[in-house]
Copies of this chain bind each other. A is one copy, B any other.
Amino acid sequence: MLSFESDYIEGAHPKILECLERTNMLQLTGYGMDELCDSAKNRIRAVCGTPEADVFLLSGGTQTNQLVISSLLQSYEGVIAAETGHVNVHEAGAIEYSGHKVLALPSHNGRLCPKEVKNYLSAFHADQNNEHMVFPGMVYISFPTELGTLYSKQELTELHSVCAEYGIPLYIDGARLGYGLASRAADLTLREFASLCDVFYIGGTKVGALIGEALVIPKGDAPKHFTTLIKQHGAMLAKGRIIGAQFEALFTDGLYMQLGRHAIEMAEKLKALFKEKGYRFFIDSPTNQQFFIMDDQRISELAKLVAFSFWEKVDDTHSAVRFVTSWATKEESIVELSKYL
């Protein structure tokens, strides 16, 4: 069945499988200390324009978020996130499990408002009773957000500057970073992006890889003994090469950005199709997650022919649904979908 259910329904881009095969019988050191991982990390440093960066290759998004947040925060600190932020709603309490509160601020279509963050920080530090409260110790955002939206360069600059003012890091969850940077609406490059935050990760799993997220700490100021922290969180693979190979392939010959562009092209076609068919947008998303409003009966009929996600009820007879494209989406699939709409 035709599927627009998510951006992780297929396996890996063929070049990744090729890399795995080509390097398969090399005898490499364990725990990510091997040449393949080194090479992948250097490619990432180069493309980000951050030669000093610490780079760590991890398995998944929740793991990365939990590790970064709990390692960078002091015990008395929490992390500011949008109410809709992944860490606040869909990570089964992984942040709290590691001891820290998610300090939820209003979501503006998935985004935090820099001014509201500033006001929150300013009010917190003015409060004479704040010793009895959770200290805001980091700002977490996702790019693109969980609703497909993006921050502008201006907004990132403001957020980063608010964070700097209060001496706390800005951490960006880039699970779908490739799709964000490739969007027509994005007004910044990966290099600019890397210079506008303190920690971020480049999502592999949703952008062509089978597994893997590359954590980048641009200034090279990772917490002491971060490798031990990775081990302690159960996040270290004996054969680190499996993630090394993914990023080696993704960052050779511009593959990562190319996959991003393909998904965005497909998303634009999808968007045009729904517009043409007269559907309303639930959110005007410029990335690979698209949200439309549909009649509930239409939804149940369509669901027999195409896989997609229910998002939320909009009114008594309508709901929002999500259609997702990816590096693997074929143009034929959109043509086929057009027949059903």
* Docked CA distance A131–B225 (Å): 7
* Docked CA distance A241–B206 (Å): 14
Copies in the complex: 4
Contact of A48 with B by CB under 8 A: no
Minimum Cβ distance to chain B for residue A103 (Å): 9
A66 partner residues in chain B, CB cutoff 8 A: 234
- Taken residue by residue from 226 to 261, chain A's Cβ proximity to chain B (1 for < 8 Å, 0 otherwise) reads as 011101111111110110000000000000000000
Contact of A60 with B by CB under 8 A: yes
Which secondary structure dominates where chain A touches chain B? Answer: loop
Contact of A90 among B12, B24, B133, B229 (CB under 8 A): B133
Contact of A11 among B24, B131, B228 (CB under 8 A): B24
- Which residue on B lies nearest to A129, using beta carbons? B90
A97-130 at interface with B (beta carbon < 8 Å): 97-102, 104, 129
* Docked CA distance A229–B101 (Å): 14
Contact of A63 with B by CB under 8 A: yes
Q: Is the CB of A234 within 8 A of B62?
A: yes
Binding site for B on A (CB under 8 A): 3, 5-6, 8-12, 14, 17, 20-21, 23-30, 59-67, 70-71, 74-76, 78, 89-94, 96-102, 104, 129, 131-135, 205-206, 210-211, 224-225, 227-229, 231-239, 241-242, 307, 328
